[in-house]
Amino acid sequence: MFDIKSFYEAVSVKDAIQALVKDTDAEIISGGTDVLIRVREGKDAGRSLVSIHNLEELKGVKLLEDGNLWIGAGTSFSHITNDPLIKEYIPMLGDAVDMVGGPQIRNTGTIGGNICNGATSADSASTMWTLEADVVLEGPEGERTVPVCEFYTGPGRTVRDRCEVCKGFVIRRESFEGWTGHYIKYGKRKAMEIATLGCAVRVKLSPDKKRIEDVRLGYGVAGPTPLRCLKAEEGLRGHDINDSDAILAFGKDALTQVNPRTSWRASKEFRLQLIEELSKRALKEAIKKAGGEIDA
């Protein structure tokens, strides 16, 4: 049995917000794959839960009139992986969330919960950073949009107020048109594993597929929050895809912008080794997916 004070099934986002305002001890629950674990462990025991799990307005992926992509916060990982729009425009995100837990978790867990949980190890987080996604929140004061790079405030903490509902994510067309990417998750085992390190790289190649016009590098578990390595990105732009010195510097520059810690999963030193190596591996795979013939 879970130690839950009360459980309320919201009929709309506004209804959920009202329920949160009314009960100062209440918190949001969607798929429950994170919240119920905290309740079972006693961290959130005795609290009220407001469920948004069955709100259709929070589910699905759609292409907006302006060409941007909308991903509902209540969309499950399995749906994202198999969605035709995700497969066409940002398959990297589908690949990343397909590494979350096992099939049961992926069928129930949602991308909104994965991001709002605030964990640096979230498999969707580093990819969403390289996509420069915007987080759409609605609360008692109305709706607001927060860039994902400004969403995290610390380990397990975000700017989302307790009475706010994450409605979804907007990915601008300029962040996916002409881009390809690759995500690498390193763990001690192949399945049902929390990332020891996650590395996401996105590239935009020149028309002849020989030069890197733009690049983005993101990490999970390389610091207290997900992060981008802007210095490494700047150093690689404009270089030939087979410039081995530039690719080597790409990994070295990443080391100057991370702050991993030692945990029972891995030492800081091992994570630093992964940070440098995985950046190069993910970059090469992203270039190959973009049609570049790389031999560096």
pLDDT in tens, 181-239: 999 999 877 666 788 999 999 999 999 999 999 999 999 999 999 999 999 999 999 99
Q: What is the structure's pLDDT at 43?
A: 67
Parts of the chain belonging to CATH 3.30.390.50:
180-289
CA-to-CA dists, residue 280 to 8, 227, 254, angstroms: 47, 17, 10
Kindly state the average pLDDT of the residues 79-90. Answer: 98
Alpha-carbon distance 222 to 272, whole Å?
Answer: 8
Report how far Cα 98 is from the mean position of its chain's Cα atoms: 12
pLDDT tier at 6, thresholds 50, 70, 90: confident
Parts of the chain belonging to CATH 3.30.465.10:
60-174
Whether residue 157 has pLDDT greater than 70: yes
Alpha-carbon distance 290 to 296, whole Å?
Answer: 16
Whether residue 40 has pLDDT greater than 70: no
Strands (E), the chain: 4-9, 26-29, 47-51, 61-63, 69-72, 134-139, 142-147, 152-154, 157-158, 165-171, 180-186, 197-205, 212-220, 227-228
Alpha-carbon distance 220 to 86, whole Å?
Answer: 21
Whether residue 140 has pLDDT greater than 90: yes
Whether residue 41 has pLDDT greater than 70: no
The CATH class of 180-289 is: alpha beta
Whether residue 1 has pLDDT greater than 60: no
Q: What is the CATH number of domain 60-174?
A: 3.30.465.10
Report how far Cα 211 is from the mean position of its chain's Cα atoms: 27
